[in-house]
């Protein structure tokens, strides 16, 4: 079976329980078990080939340019881990079927479990380190889900987050490490990397890569000081603990060390980092395990300790140590999984995992007792069980290794670790099973059914078998895997008895010392409790709480909703970067002569300066500010006229009046005065920012006006061809409707959308809380009488048709003289608005059967159709044509098709302005203004008629 398929099968298995989510535990377990079994079978079919030294590969291109490909390989190492993962997985699936309650979402559990299994298999079968990374992180994610599976348990959630965070930390470091490694090796394929030992170890980036990768491996394998996540992961259901946190996931780190052993090991950096970490972990975790009250917690720390042991062995970098490491992986998996399942059974049956509440279960649960004891003894390293074999090998290796010139420190500590291990293993046996039977178990303990027992029983059988007959039962697997690790064919021989050597003495010391320690345990417990000790979880909590606090403070500080700060930052950024960019370039200096200043421009300048200054000074008096805005607008328009831009002046002045009307309409409901609520200091700072920005902009514009174009501007062409090709002599208008008609198309759309937005917003406001508030509105000022003054009505009535004529005129001549659709639209709008102001909204509205929505739509469409029309001539959008239309005897017009476009502009402007004002007026009417049926409040002539 292809390695890829083997890796894929668990994922397929993961889908099944998801799909069959309602069909219960059996279906889920069977489907997952089947997938696992097929995968295991597929893997085992490769055993002969692998034993023969072959490496089975499957390669799929995924992301070749990055070097990330779906390449898989099975060699001895992969085989060892694959069998562990799938084999124990099969047992766990069975076990979980009976362990989980009917009320648990079992489908979900199996999905997560299979996801995890797939990820693990992926790790061990990857032949590409980037692919390996993918699976690596997937194990973190799926373990997060599994630990947090019982979502109502706070420990589960916290444990899940701690595990995720710590392993993700390592994972991220590993991403960097792997990328560096791949860059050095020139490939991300493991096959290639394994060939690049010299290049890698010679690279200056070797140490960073090593440290980063080790960070990944150590976090995953819960090595000191990252070990603290593992006990908290014990909040997971026991099958998860047994599977992830003893047999497989935590070994992923070891796998990685083994996988990269040929290229990374053998250097002092490797030795001191890996072996020391391993040693420290082994001893410290074992020490902690002695005192744990929670069975699973005890087992968890023992796991950490054993992982440390294996890490240390790999760190030694010798072939013998590597063989021992591989063998211990096998042994540890068997006895530790069995122990976890035993703990789960006890928890399940006795209702507690607390050692202090247990004891005397020997008679109540004889089978469980047997299984648990055998496994625990193996863990303690008692012959003839398999744990003994590797403990001896470990001690042997420590006696041979030298640590900073010291030949004893390693084996002293190694023995100490073994001693602790004996202590906690026996504690497990004595304090759970032995002793007097109690009468206060939370439940009625008895041996469980076959389903829960089969897994641990099988494992314990292995424990014994491997212990007794290591060379026939396990040597082949250790040989295959250690050959793969070391790159040299290994043919190890294991024996229970090596004669009386140092290792044996140390082993004996450990066992005896362990017994002694167990006897002293209660006293030591009290002593230990009295002394302060570092608590990983508390540190983690402190760090994350601190980080969260800092993040909150930081976030609150940098995005605190202050507009002023945001805009101030923007201004200063603009000025600073602009100034920097300008000053690092070269400016030629003023080359254009200045224009003379006459009396009128000077007056205008004074007016503008004073008006602007007043505007700032008096801006809190809002109506005065509006008057000043009008004045500034007037002067700006005058400036445009003076500087040869009549079109601009027309537009500016007419836009401005509409704006003022709009602002007045809004101001009716807003406070009339701005409250002074910024402190003097802030105002000073703002003034500084404003001044600097103003200076910057003024200077920039001065530089521009005094310098020449570096290249002839494209507008020269426009001046030349505006009449010839565009058919209009007002070049600005031809640019607007022809050269750059597309801009104008966008522009009128903007206007239309603005009106639609205003309309939509108004409707929403009126329907909501604002509507209610408006209905109870109290005007904040005394109101005069005379809503629709007669004089105004009469005059605007006359102005309306005249304005329409003026609008038409401005529209028609726009192509050749200042004017055009936009200004015309505004003129007409202003005339209509004057009707509204004079005769009241309802009366005037009644007289226009115009839907402004339709106006806007029609405007955009008209402009669009004029543009699309060109398609039918095979020309691009907005291509215009023109001609002079001479209706006999009537005014001669130049009719450019662009005029259709201008008509669209006109319609859109009228529609948008009127719809916007309408909406604002609707808000006003909500306050309960009465509706007038007559255009003026009093009409003396009508009154006369009545008489």
Q: Which of residues 834-873 bind another protein (CB under 8 A)?
A: 834-837, 839-841, 844, 846-848, 853-854, 856-858, 860-861, 864, 867-868, 870-871
Q: Which stretch binds another protein (CB under 8 A): 314-322, 334-342, 427-435, 875-883?
A: 875-883
Part of the chain binding another protein (CB under 8 A), chosen from 85-93, 243-251, 344-352, 626-634: 626-634
Q: Please choose which of another protein, Na ion, none residue 856 contacts, taking the beta carbon within 5 to 8 angstroms, the exact cut-off set by kind.
A: another protein
| C-beta of 302 vs 733, nearer to Na ion | 733
Site residues for another protein, 57-86, by CB under 8 A, read: 61-66, 68
Q: Could you please report the per-residue DSSP string of 647-715?
A: HHHHHHHHHHHHHHHHHHHHHTTS-SB----S-HHHHHHHHHHHHHHHHHHHHHHHHHHHS--SS--TH
**Tokens 């003022």 correspond to what residue?**
660
Owner of token pair 């030795």:
271
Run of H or E including 38: helix 24-44
Residue 250: CA count within 13 A, CB half-sphere: 38
- Quote the least distance from Cβ 820 to Na ion, whole Å: 3
Element (H or E) spanning 29, and its range?
helix 24-44
Spatial distance between the Cα atoms of 315 and 269, rounded to a whole number of angstroms: 10
Q: Which is nearer to another protein, 489 or 885 (CB)?
A: 885
Closest CB to another protein among residues 96, 736: 736
Report in angstroms the alpha-carbon separations of 370 from 99, 445, 460, 698.
20, 15, 9, 91
Which two three-digit tokens encode residue 323? 């063989």
The Cα 470–Cα 385 span in angstroms is 10
Q: Check binding of 400 to another protein (CB under 8 A).
A: no
The contact mask relative to another protein for 537-576 (x = CB under 8 A, - = no) is -------x--xx-xxxxxxx-xxxxxxxxxxxxxx-xx--
Q: How far is CA 397 from CA 312, 317, 361, 546, 738, in A?
A: 10, 11, 38, 43, 88
Query: Which residue's CB is nearer to another protein, number 516 or number 750?
Result: 750
Could you give the CA distance from residue 56 to residue 68 in angstroms, rounded to a whole number? 19
Q: Does 606 bind another protein (CB under 8 A)?
A: yes
Q: Which does 703 bind (CB under 5 to 8 A by kind): another protein, Na ion, none?
A: another protein
Residue 122 CA to residue 136 CA, distance in Å, equals 8
- Least distance to another protein from the beta carbon of 773, Å? 6
Q: How far apart are the first and last CA of the chain?
A: 109
For the bound state, the minimum distance from the C-beta of residue 577 to another protein, rounded and expressed in Å, comes to: 5
Restricting to residues 140-169, which ones interact with another protein according to CB under 8 A? 140-141, 144-145, 148, 150-154, 156-157, 160-161, 164-165, 168-169
680 interacts with, out of Na ion, another protein, none, CB within 5 to 8 A per kind: none
In the bound state with another protein, the residue whose beta carbon lies nearer, of 523 and 561, is 561
* Part in contact with another protein (CB under 8 A); list of ranges 103-111, 265-273, 301-309, 428-436: 103-111
Question: Up-side HSE of residue 882: CA atoms within 13 Å toward CB?
Answer: 23
The first and second tokens of residue 654, run together, are: 């007419």
**Binding range to another protein, per CB under 8 A, among 320-328, 368-376, 438-446, 697-705:** 697-705
Choosing from 465, 725, 894, 895, the residue that interacts with another protein (CB under 8 A) is 725
Cα–Cα nearest to 139, from 220, 225, 228, 36: 220
Nearer to Na ion, 162 or 735 (CB): 735
Site for another protein in 883-912 (CB under 8 A): 889-892, 912
Rule CB under 8 A: say whether 183 interacts with another protein.
yes
| Binding region for Na ion (CB under 5 A) | 647, 733, 814, 820
Question: Using CB under 8 A, which residues numbered 734 to 793 contact another protein?
Answer: 735-736, 738-770, 773-774, 776, 778-787, 789-793
**Nearest approach, Cβ of 817 to Na ion (angstroms)?**
9
Nearer Cβ to another protein (145/478): 145
Nearer to another protein, 478 or 896 (CB): 896
Considering the rule CB under 8 A, would residue 921 count as an interface residue with another protein? yes
How many chain residues are in contact with another protein, going by CB under 8 A? 327
- Compare residues 189 and 902 and give the one whose CB is closer to Na ion: 902
Residues numbered 799 to 818 that lie near another protein (CB under 8 A) are: 799-806, 808-810, 816-818
Residue with tokens 């398609």: 871
Q: How far is the CB of 36 from another protein (least distance, A)?
A: 20
Residue 342 within binding range of another protein, rule CB under 8 A: no
- In the complex with Na ion, the residue whose CB is nearer, 397 or 647, is 647
Which of 117, 96, 121, 28 shows the shortest CA–CA distance to 454? Answer: 96
Q: Is 47 among the residues that bind another protein (CB under 8 A)? A: no
In whole angstroms, the minimum distance from the beta carbon of 609 to Na ion comes to 30
**Residue 570: C-alpha distances to residues 566, 567, 616, 683, 687 (Å):** 6, 5, 20, 17, 15
Quick one: 381 or 728, whose CB is closer to Na ion?
728
Task: Tell whether residue 502 is a contact of another protein (CB under 8 A).
Answer: no
622: contact with another protein by CB under 8 A: yes
Minimum Å distance from CB 326 to another protein?
27
Q: Which of 135, 270, 388, 420 binds another protein (CB under 8 A)?
A: 135
Distance CA 765, CA 759 (A): 10
Nearest C-alpha neighbor of 147 from the set 257, 240, 38: 240
| Residues between 250 and 279 that touch another protein (CB under 8 A) | none
Strands 882-885 and 893-896: antiparallel
Taking phi over 0 as left and psi of -120 to 50 as alpha, with beta for the rest, 929 belongs to beta
Pairing of strands 56-63, 893-896: unpaired
Tokens linked to 739: 């050269």
Q: Which residues 6+ apart lie within 8 Å of 67 measured at CB?
A: 128, 130, 182, 187, 188, 189
Chain residue whose CB lies nearest Na ion: 820
User: Which residues, numbered 628-687, are part of the site for another protein (CB under 8 A)?
Assistant: 628-634, 636-671, 674-675, 677-678, 686-687
Q: Nearer to another protein by C-beta: 402 or 699?
A: 699
For 448-474, give the secondary structure using H, E and C. Answer: CCHHHHHHHHHHHHHHHHHHHCHHHHC
For another protein, the closer of residues 479 and 650 by Cβ is: 650
């Amino acid at each position: 079976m292809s390695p890829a398929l083997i890796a894929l099968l668990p994922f397929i298995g993961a889908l099944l329980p998801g799909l069959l989510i309602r069909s219960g535990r059996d279906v889920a377990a069977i489907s997952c078990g089947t997938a696992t079994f097929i995968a295991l079978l597929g893997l085992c079919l490769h055993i002969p080939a692998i034993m023969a030294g072959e490496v089975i590969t499957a390669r799929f291109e995924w992301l070749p340019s990055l070097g990330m490909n779906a390449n898989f390989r099975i060699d001895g190492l992969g085989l060892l881990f694959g069998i562990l993962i799938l084999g124990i997985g099969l047992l766990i699936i069975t076990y979980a079927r009976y362990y989980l309650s009917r009320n648990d979402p079992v489908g979900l559990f199996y999905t997560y479990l299979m996801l995890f299994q797939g990820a693990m298999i992926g790790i061990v079968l990857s032949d590409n380190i980037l692919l390996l990374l993918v699976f690596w992180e997937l194990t973190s994610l799926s373990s997060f889900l599994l630990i947090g599976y019982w979502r109502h348990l706070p420990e589960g959630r916290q444990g899940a987050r701690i595990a995720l965070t710590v392993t993700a930390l390592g994972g991220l470091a590993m991403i960097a490490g792997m990328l560096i490694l791949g860059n050095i090796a020139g490939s991300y394929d493991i096959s290639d990397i394994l060939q690049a030992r010299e290049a890698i170890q010679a690279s200056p980036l070797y140490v960073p890569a090593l440290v980063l990768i080790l960070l990944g491996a150590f976090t995953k394998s819960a090595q000191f000081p990252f070990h603290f996540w593992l006990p908290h992961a014990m909040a997971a259901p026991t099958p998860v603990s047994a599977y992830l946190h003893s047999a497989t996931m935590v070994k992923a780190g070891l796998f990685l060390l083994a996988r990269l052993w040929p290229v990374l090991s053998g250097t002092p950096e490797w030795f001191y980092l890996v072996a020391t970490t391993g040693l420290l972990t082994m001893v410290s975790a074992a020490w902690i395990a002695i005192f744990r009250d929670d069975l699973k917690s005890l087992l968890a720390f023992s796991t950490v300790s054993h992982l440390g042991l294996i890490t240390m062995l790999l760190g030694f970098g010798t072939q013998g140590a590597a063989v021992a490491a591989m063998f211990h992986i096998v042994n540890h998996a068997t006895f530790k999984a069995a122990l976890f399942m035993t703990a789960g059974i006890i928890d399940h049956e006795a209702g507690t995992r607390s050692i202090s509440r247990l004891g005397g279960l020997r008679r109540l649960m004889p089978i469980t007792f047997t299984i648990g004891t055998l496994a625990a003894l193996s863990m303690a390293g008692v012959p003839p069980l398999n744990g003994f074999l590797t403990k001896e090998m470990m001690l042997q290796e420590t006696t041979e290794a030298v640590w900073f010139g010291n030949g004893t420190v390693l084996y002293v500590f190694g023995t100490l670790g073994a001693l602790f291990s004996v202590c906690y293993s026996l504690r497990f046996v004595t304090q759970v099973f032995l002793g007097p039977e109690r009468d206060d178990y939370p439940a009625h303990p008895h041996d469980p059914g076959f389903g829960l027992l089969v897994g641990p029983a099988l494992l314990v059988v292995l424990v014994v078998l491997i212990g007794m007959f290591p060379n026939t039962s396990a040597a082949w697997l250790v040989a295959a895997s250690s050959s793969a690790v070391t790159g040299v064919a290994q043919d190890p021989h294991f024996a229970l008895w090596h004669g009386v050597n140092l290792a044996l003495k140390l082993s004996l010391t450990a066992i005896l010392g362990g017994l002694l320690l167990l006897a002293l345990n209660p006293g030591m417990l009290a002593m230990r409790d009295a002394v302060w000790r570092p608590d990983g979880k508390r540190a983690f909590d402190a760090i994350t709480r601190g980080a969260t606090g800092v993040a909150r403070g930081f976030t609150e500080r940098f995005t605190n909703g202050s507009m002023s700060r945001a805009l101030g930052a923007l201004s200063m950024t603009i000025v600073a970067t602009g100034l920097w960019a300008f000053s690092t370039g070269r400016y030629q200096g003023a080359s254009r002569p200045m224009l003379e200043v006459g009396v009128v421009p000077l007056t205008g300048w004074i007016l503008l300066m004073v008006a602007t200054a007043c505007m700032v000074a008096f801006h809190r008096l809002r109506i005065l500010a509006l008057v000043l805005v009008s004045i500034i607008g007037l002067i700006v328009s005058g400036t445009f006229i003076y500087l040869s831009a009549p079109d601009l002046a027309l537009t500016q002045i007419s836009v401005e009046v509409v704006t003022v009307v709009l602002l007045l309409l809004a101001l009716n409901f807003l406070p009339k005065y701005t409250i002074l609520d910024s402190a003097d200091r802030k105002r000073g700072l703002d003034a500084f920012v404003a001044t600097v920005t103003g200076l910057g902009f003024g200077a920039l514009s001065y530089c521009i006006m005094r310098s020449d174009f570096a290249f002839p501007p494209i507008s020269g062409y426009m001046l030349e061809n505006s009449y010839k090709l565009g058919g209009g002599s007002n070049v600005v208008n031809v640019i607007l409707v022809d050269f750059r008609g597309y801009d104008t198309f966008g522009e009128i759309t903007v206007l239309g959308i603005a009106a639609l937005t205003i309309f939509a917003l108004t409707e929403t406001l009126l329907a909501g809380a604002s509507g209610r508030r408006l209905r109870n509105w109290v005007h904040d000022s005394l109101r005069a009488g005379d809503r629709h003054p007669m004089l105004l009505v009469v005059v605007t009535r006359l102005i309306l048709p005249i304005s329409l004529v003026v609008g038409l005129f401005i529209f028609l001549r726009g192509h050749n003289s200042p004017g055009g659709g936009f200004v015309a639209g505004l003129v007409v709008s202003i005339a209509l608005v004057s009707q509204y102001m004079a005769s009241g909204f309802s009366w005037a509205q009644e007289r226009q059967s115009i839907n402004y929505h339709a106006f806007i739509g029609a405007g955009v469409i008209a402009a669009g159709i004029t543009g699309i029309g060109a398609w039918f001539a095979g020309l691009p959008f907005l291509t215009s044509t023109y001609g002079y239309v001479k209706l006999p005897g009537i005014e001669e017009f130049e009719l450019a098709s662009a005029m259709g476009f201008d008509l669209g502009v006109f319609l859109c402007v009228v529609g948008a302005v009127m719809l916007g004002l309408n909406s604002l007026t609707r808000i006003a009417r909500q306050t309960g203004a009465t509706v007038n049926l007559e255009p003026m409040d009093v009409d003396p002539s009508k009154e006369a008629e009545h008489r």
